[in-house]
């Protein structure tokens, strides 16, 4: 979305120490520089607006969605959800596919708080609205991991009062101290996933297991590939094929990745973060680079397709929940966070929305077939080769951007 990072995504891989994610000079106690180009991850969703609670999570074309009815519901006491949850409405700014009718109704029944959820299609859209003052309407926002860094640096977020949150101890260890927000000081993880390749095995005629497929078959793939419209994702995947880190700060390695990408330029039909779905489903393109959640959603419609995390490694990303300093109803925001931290609620979202949870207690409640779905929950072996996309110094970001401009404009 829609938005880059892995199981926790505090470290290079699922079980590796945090220091592996960012270069040594980006120590946790130092301010982290901004990303060069931002990741956009979302499902295009068309809203179906009806009475009661409505949020479509499986169509195309985004538009605003209002959830709930009435203006002044009476809160009900629920110590397991929050301290004195506020009455009235909770306004949420989120990716379009991160909530549904069942979640909203369950929350209102438990708290008496009604929800109005507005979807955004990119972190850039969300940040622009926040910077323009529009953020004063929202008490919960769902930024991606790297955007949390930007929002903290801009002074947009309220430090979380952990005494008001119940269930942080159920998060997997790697999410309890993520590199983008040490100790979850300003955010809690909502959804995570990977970046990989989606294709039709019958059309391809073989199983694809890595990025190298594109280079190995470039002569027969003219204009048959779509890549994500994101410099760090595309350059990062290429760096991995060369044995380098997604987050290299070496100009020489970045140049080598650019030169390697030039080799497959004739195969690239377009750079699309979203919109590739119809092209792939219709057979107009053969392989698409995609975020796991988008791929899984399409596979539910087109089960002939397959999603794979490349064997040489990929990126893992996390989208989070935060409370802006301008939040009009922070009590309701804490109530929402606590509700989603409940294992049964989080597990239900995994089942219904096909999103991966960072909540270990929720994972333990899932049926074995879901736990073993490596599209949702990659194996430890797969994750051992993955990295979260980390910030790089501004001078290095400029190097990435210069080569990206040459690649996408030539």
- DSSP per-residue string spanning 173-229: HHHHS-TTSGGGSSEEEEEEEEEEEEE-HHHHTS---STHHHHHTGGG-TT-EEE-S
Summarised one tens digit per residue, pLDDT across range 330-339 is 999 999 999 9
> What's the pLDDT at 65?
34
> What's the pLDDT at 87?
58
Q: Which pair of tokens denotes residue 175?
A: 């999410």
Alpha-carbon distance 142 to 115, whole Å?
15
Domains of the chain: 18-193+317-377 (3.40.190.10), 194-315+389-409 (3.40.190.10)
> What's the pLDDT at 320?
97
Mean pLDDT across the stretch 37-42? 40
Alpha-carbon distance 261 to 41, whole Å?
22
Q: Do the bridges between strand 225-227 and strand 187-199 make them parallel or antiparallel, or are there none, so unpaired?
A: unpaired
Summarised one tens digit per residue, pLDDT across range 244-262 is 999 999 999 999 999 999 9
- Among the residue ranges 50-54, 63-67, 94-98, the one predicted with the least confidence is 50-54
Q: Is the pLDDT of residue 185 over 90?
A: yes
Alpha-carbon distance 55 to 47, whole Å?
7
Mean pLDDT across the stretch 376-399? 89
Mean pLDDT across the stretch 221-226? 96
User: Rounded to two decimals, what is the model's pTM?
Assistant: 0.76
Which range of 11-20, 82-91, 257-266 scores highest in mean pLDDT? It is 257-266
Residue-wise over 336-365: b if at least 16 C-beta within 10 A, else e? bbbbbbbbebbbbbbeebbbbbbbebbbeb
No. of H helices and E strands in the chain? 16, 9
> What's the pLDDT at 121?
82
Q: Is the pLDDT of residue 86 over 60?
A: no
Q: Do the bridges between strand 140-141 and strand 89-95 make them parallel or antiparallel, or are there none, so unpaired?
A: parallel
pLDDT band at 69 (very low <50, low <70, confident <90, very high): very low
Summarised one tens digit per residue, pLDDT across range 108-143 is 999 999 999 999 888 888 999 998 887 789 999 999
Q: Mean pLDDT in the chain? A: 81
Mean pLDDT across the stretch 350-359? 94
Alpha-carbon distance 162 to 212, whole Å?
45
> What's the pLDDT at 148?
94
């Amino acid at each position: 979305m829609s938005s880059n990072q892995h199981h926790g995504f505090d470290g290079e891989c699922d079980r590796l120490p945090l220091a592996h994610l960012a270069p040594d000079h980006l120590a946790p106690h130092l301010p982290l520089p901004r990303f060069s180009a931002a990741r956009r991850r979302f499902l295009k969703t068309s809203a179906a607006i009806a009475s009661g609670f409505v949020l479509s999570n499986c169509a195309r074309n985004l538009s605003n969605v209002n959830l709930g009815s009435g203006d002044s519901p009476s809160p009900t006491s629920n110590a397991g959800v929050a301290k004195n949850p506020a009455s009235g409405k909770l306004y949420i700014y989120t990716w379009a596919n991160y909530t549904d009718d069942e979640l909203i109704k369950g929350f209102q029944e438990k708290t008496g708080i009604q929800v109005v959820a507005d979807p955004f299609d990119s972190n850039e859209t969300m940040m622009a609205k926040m910077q323009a003052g529009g953020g004063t309407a929202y008490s919960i926002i769902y930024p991606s991991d790297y955007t949390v860094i930007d929002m903290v640096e801009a002074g947009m977020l309220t430090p979380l009062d952990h005494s008001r949150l119940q269930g942080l101890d159920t998060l997997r260890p790697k999410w309890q101290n993520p590199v983008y927000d040490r100790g979850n000081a300003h955010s809690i993880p909502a959804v995570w996933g990977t970046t990989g390749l989606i294709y039709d095995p019958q059309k391809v005629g073989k199983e694809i297991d890595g990025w190298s497929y594109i280079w190995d078959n470039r002569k027969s793939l003219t204009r048959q590939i779509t890549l994500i419209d994101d410099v760090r994702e595309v350059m990062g995947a290429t760096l991995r094929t060369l044995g380098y880190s997604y987050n290299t700060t070496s100009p020489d390695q970045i140049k080598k990745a650019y030169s390697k990408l030039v080799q497959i330029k004739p195969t690239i039909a377009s750079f699309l973060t979203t919109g590739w779905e119809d092209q792939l489903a219709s057979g107009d393109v053969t392989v698409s680079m995609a975020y796991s959640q988008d791929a899984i959603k399409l596979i539910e419609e087109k089960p002939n397709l397959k999603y794979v995390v490349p064997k040489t490694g990929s990126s893992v990303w996390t989208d989070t929940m935060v409370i802006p300093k301008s939040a009009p109803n922070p009590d309701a925001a804490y109530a929402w966070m606590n509700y989603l931290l409940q294992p049964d609620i989080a597990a239900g979202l995994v089942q219904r929305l096909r999103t991966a949870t960072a909540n270990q207690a929720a994972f333990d409640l899932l049926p074995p077939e879901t736990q073993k779905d490596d599209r949702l929950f990659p194996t430890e072996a797969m994750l051992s080769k993955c990295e979260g996309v980390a910030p790089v110094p501004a001078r290095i970001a400029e190097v990435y951007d210069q080569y990206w401009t040459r690649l996408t404009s030539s």
